[in-house]
Amino acid sequence: LKEVDLIKNIQALLKRTIAQVVTQIKMNRDAQQALEMDWSDKHEAYGFDDRSGRHSNMSPDTKLHPSSATMQEHICTPTSWTKFTQDNLSKALQEEEATNSLRMLVEQML
């Protein structure tokens, strides 16, 4: 009877651990996606900046539009962009630490 209880307890522990692993994998993927999208945005912005840096008022393809040089509300500032990146990196590091802790737990269980 004790052996049956022990087996049931171990099965329950393994099921909880599997659920933790699945949750951690989802969290890791979310952090990875956030970092990849942030990098992609920065790469695209660098391309815009690079191309725009070669233009002047005398460039043949420059078109003048009213309010084209004003700061728009949905544009982020360098400070907000830096904070966004730091938040993404912090979240990724936090998930990496959680993954390492969970990995150690699983290895001890096995």
pLDDT surpassing 70 at residue 88 = yes
Cβ-proximal residues to 106 (8 Å cutoff; 6+ apart), any chain: 17, 21
The reported pLDDT for the residue numbered 52 is: 77
Contact partners, residue 55, CB within 8 Å, separation at least 6: 61, 62
* Predicted pLDDT at 87: 96
pLDDT for position 68? 64
Model confidence, pTM: 0.74
Average pLDDT, the chain: 88
Two structure tokens written together for 54: 């070669």
Radius of gyration of the chain measured on its C-alpha atoms: 25
pLDDT tens digits, one per residue of 13-61:
999 999 999 999 999 999 999 999 999 999 998 898 888 777 777 777 7
